[in-house]
Amino acid sequence: QVQLVESGGGLVQPGGSLRLSCAASGRIFSLGVMGWYRQAPGKQRDLVATITSTSSTNYADSVKGRFTISRHNAEKTVYLQMNSLKPEDAAVYYCNADHRASLRVPFRPYWGQGTQVTVSL
């Protein structure tokens, strides 16, 4: 079983910055793509950014140029650096990771608990 724990959320003013972290723990064999998603109240959960095990990245158009996703494989941790934050960035941010327990089984998705990001004056 794999657990994902996010940290780093909080309250910032528009134009400010936050750095989110997500650490994976448990009986980890292989982590595939990891990513960040966000969900505002009453809205669907949307992709923010993903990163492969070889550090190929993908971003939502709305955050491109402002957010940077990265990972440290040895620490089994993924990060999201958020700069120039806007009120529309406010949401609960969720960490996601694909994991397989062995080469004999498919990858399965795991989700963290979520961390609140508030952008307000």
List pLDDT tens digits, range 44-70: 999 999 999 999 999 999 999 999 999
Place of tokens 């993903």: 50
Q: Average pLDDT in the 74-80 region?
A: 94
Predicted local confidence at residue 69, as pLDDT: 98
List pLDDT tens digits, range 14-42: 999 999 999 999 999 999 999 999 999 99
